[in-house]
A and B are shown apart, each in its own frame.
Chain A
């Protein structure tokens, strides 16, 4: 009798034990973190895909769930969410000035005790940005990815036979447009941020012709927009670039930056050079609809550095924009994510999923990553640049940066309005309180 009862009870006890064990084995809820970032794309090789792999690795390692919001207008979304009282936990922005404004307003949390000395020592440059400008110089953002600006890309089919090493050489080459083939592939479009490819040209011209000191004075609001160095850079944008652009100024205005280089890679090409950042290595390879398949770095396209102005005493300057990670909600989950993104493991995952065509802030991220020859050369420039400055527009307060971008669009639409545009820009500069400007040095 007892045995029979036991036989009946045994399965019930076993089921109850199994249920209890499975409940214990279930992953405990370690909470969630929200991140806003600009990287779109769901296909392998695209930035959005790569970053999702990074976030997946974070989830696997920590058990913390993530919610991502993807938009090209991260700054606008962060503003909107802050206004609604629901900021994201973490956001990736390129504008140091924007982050500084949030730090000043107490909306951004310091990261001094989030990212330790070990992680800081792994960074290629001192890009742990002290954004509050105070004596304490607390750190409010950690760098994730570096985009080297001021590369001049060319298609191997229609590019120059001899690389112009000096500004005069480039200017001369720009004027020798052949029939039906323009010198510059130029596209200003990027939704609400349209105009930045033009601001990049102006910044590089000022940096290379007048050096880091003038460049930083201008970026920090200490130089008049009507001053000769700035005015001449604008004129050169019109004279050298816009006048020799594929489809003219009109096409340059109406073309999105991601599409502009397409005609450089077609056979026959429509344009020969494009002034753009290091991220183009990936973007060019995404033109899969070309008859010869996706263009190959080093085979179908290559780059040369922005040429030197003769007789300059300073070394070879470079400028870069950096994707910076800031924390808007101080939660344990947000802290873990920021620390994870600053580390070599996360950045290596990105590299692996973009075929080594990215340049990460953590120098240990490169370990074991094979790169194509073009990306390898860019990485060397990132590592060995004599002078590396942050993108001036990223250092300017949001109002100034937006006005700068609008100014470029207006200038391309009507170059004769340059004096008026520069006067307007200077009015904007003078209207911004002094403590809203960032004074950061170039790294040497």
Chain B
């Protein structure tokens, strides 16, 4: 054991055993121990707040953004693929099959699903839904490809209509279609996203302990300053004043992390906007095209003469008319894509900012260490004084 350590050990033992009749050394010892403990507690709870913020930001950036944008992209691509298939096969382009555009959109849809699967935002239940959607996508693609193989002529047209209608139902069926599954998945993602954001830097379980620890540390420092001023007739103890300033700096840094949570909330709102986007207009025109194709294959203008399924389908299409004019549908989709892109960019940017704010943990640690040193320096002259008195 070194000589200074032996000396301090003896002083502490003396203080504890209470050889001295004065209460001042005991108060000094109690104060320094309490202040060191409070400084450590402020550091630990501050780091917890920052860690929660970082985790939530990482989850938004690396999981929620790719998952939601992946599913939205897949959904849009599937609607477009369906439109491309109907358009290509309606115009009798049998030789080119469903067309290059169809295959491009299917590839985009597959990429989107893969991106979402990699993000794994909603855990195993989400992955199961993804696999189901992927299975339906395979059946859908197969049916469209089959529709393209039928020869021209009445019979071929009829079979093509049957296959395209079946394929389209695999996508659009509200009770079990691929789009319905993707919508359900988006709702799951939305819940998971909100759960992760709420568990971030503003979670009461993190903020309250930190606020309490900071308040206790500040109160102890003020009490120590008052004690020093009264007992030793010093206006201000420089070390303790510095420690108080450093504590305020730590609070400033942690509050920065907590306020950065707003960015995360904005990101979350942008993603929720994507989830809850009204997509009813998109695809309506394609459904009209499919209805016309089916009626032409059936050979009647009156849907009721083509059986109950066609009659019901025609009613559903009529209930949800497409936007007027051929270009409007395209504009709807362009707007949708621009909105998707903007929301995804905002989400990524906000998440990055929140992540940056939460990444200030080393600064917090440095400030806490300096505060501890400042407390020690503030106490050292008096401790030395009482050490000599007690020995």
Q: Which of A59-83 contact B (CB under 8 A)?
A: 67, 69-73, 76-77, 79-81
**Could you tell me if A247 and B306 are in contact, using CB atoms closer than 8 angstroms?**
yes
Can you name the residue of chain B whose Cβ is closest to the Cβ of A77?
Answer: B135
Q: Is B176 a contact of A71 with CB atoms below 8 Å?
A: yes
Contact flags B115-154 to A (C-beta < 8 A → 1, else 0): 0000000001100100110111011001100000000001
A69, B133: Cα distance in complex, Å: 11
Asked whether A194 lies within 8 Å of B166 as measured between CB atoms, the reply is: yes
Known A254-B165, A254-B298; judge A192-B139 contact (CB<8 A). yes
Minimal beta-carbon separation of A22 from chain B (angstroms) = 19
Stretch from A149-157, A206-214, A344-352, A409-417 at the B interface:
A409-417
B175 — nearest CB in chain A belongs to which residue?
Answer: A40
Q: What 1/0 flags go to B70-109 for Cβ under 8 Å of A?
A: 0000000000000000000000000000000000000000
Chain B hits for A158, CB < 8 A: none
Given contacts A81-B131, A254-B161, contact A189 B309 (CB under 8 A): yes
CB-nearest residue of chain A to B127:
A86
Chain A 39-74 interface mask (CB, 8 Å, partner B; 1/0): 011000000000000000000000000010111110
**Chain B residues with CB below 8 A from A79, complex form:** 135
User: Provided the pairs A67-B125, A251-B305, A254-B309 are in contact, do residues A80 and B165 lie with their beta carbons within 8 angstroms?
Assistant: no
- The complex places the Cα of A143 from the Cα of B176 at a distance, in Å, of 25
Residues of chain B from 156 to 170 with CB closer than 8 A to chain A in the complex = 156, 158-159, 161-162, 165-166, 169-170
How far is B173's CA from A71's CA once the two chains are assembled, in angstroms? 11
CB atoms of A251 and B310 under 8 A apart: yes
A189 to B158, CA, bound (A): 13
**In the complex the two chains form, what is the Cα distance from A41 to B176 in whole Å?**
9
Tell me the smallest distance from the CB of B150 to a CB of chain A, in Å. Answer: 8
CB pair B307 A260 closer than 8 Å: yes
- Number of interface residues, chain A, beta carbon within 8 A: 41
Q: How many interface residues does chain B have, given as a range? A: 35 or more
Write out, one digit per residue, whether chain B residues 165-197 have a CB within 8 A of any chain A CB (1) or not (0): 110011000011000000000000000000000
The answer to whether B308 touches A80, judged by C-beta atoms less than 8 angstroms apart, is no
Q: Is the interface of B mostly helix, strand, loop or mixed?
A: helix
Does the CB pair B175–A192 fall under 8 Å? no
Given known A191-B139, A417-B155, contact A254–B131 (CB-CB < 8 A): no
* CB-CB under 8 A for A254 and B297, given A192-B142, A194-B166, A259-B309: yes
Contacting pair A187 B158 (CB below 8 A)? no
**A residues in contact with B300, CB < 8 Å:** 250
Q: In the assembled complex, which residues on chain B have CB atoms less than 8 Å from the CB atom of A247?
A: 298, 305-307
Measured between beta carbons, the chain B residues less than 8 angstroms from A252 are 307
Q: A92: CB under 8 A from chain B?
A: no
Q: Are B306 and A40 in contact (CB under 8 A)?
A: no
Shortest beta-carbon distance, A93 to chain B, in Å? 14
9 A-B residue pairings within 8 Å (CB atoms):
A69-B128, A71-B132, A77-B132, A79-B135, A81-B131, A187-B307, A191-B169, A249-B158, A255-B308
Chain A residues near B (Cβ < 8 Å): 34, 40-41, 67, 69-73, 76-77, 79-81, 84, 86, 187-189, 191-192, 194, 246-247, 249-256, 259-260, 262-263, 409-410, 413-414, 417
Further 8 A-B residue pairs, CB within 8 A, beyond A72-B176, A259-B307: A69-B131, A76-B139, A188-B162, A250-B299, A253-B158, A253-B159, A260-B307, A414-B155
